[in-house]
Structure 1
Amino acid sequence: MRPTKSDDDALVDLVDVILRKGAVIEADVVIAVADIPLVGLKLRAALAGMTTMTEYGIFEDWDEAQRLRNRETAGQRLE
């Protein structure tokens, strides 16, 4: 009997890699009607876990503000 890997495991592995290492997605989109371009979009998205984002200097200020807010909220609950 040989071990098998289900399709669910592949999705979990993909999400794990994206969160751990990150991925950047870039897309150029042109919306046209009757071959007449109406709207152009240039999209760029960075996907990664917060640890990876802060390692690359993205969302550092936001992360620190959230941690400070959580500490303050936790302190108010203890009183």
Structure 2
Amino acid sequence: MQITLRAARVNAGLTLVEASKLFGINKDTLAKYERDSSNVPRKFFIKIEEVYGVPVDNIFFGKESEFFRKNNRARTA
């Protein structure tokens, strides 16, 4: 099962500001990655598991809206 970057952050109990500090990036940048994680830099990608405690394979990489669209289709099918 995959989750979004936002869900991983929330599940880790971190605010946007707290998580952005752990990643060493601006909170606005992290918010952008949460909306569309299709092109996150390698430096960020490597730290996901360390910061959120979630294996990278369990993170959905792409547009957050697409994640929800796919999941809604799967539930109604």
TM-score, normalised with respect to structure 2: 0.32
Larger Rg: 1
Q: Which has the larger share of helix?
A: 2
Q: Report 1 or 2 for greater relative contact order, CA contacts < 8 Å, sequence distance ≥ 6.
A: 2
Q: Which has the larger share of strand?
A: 1
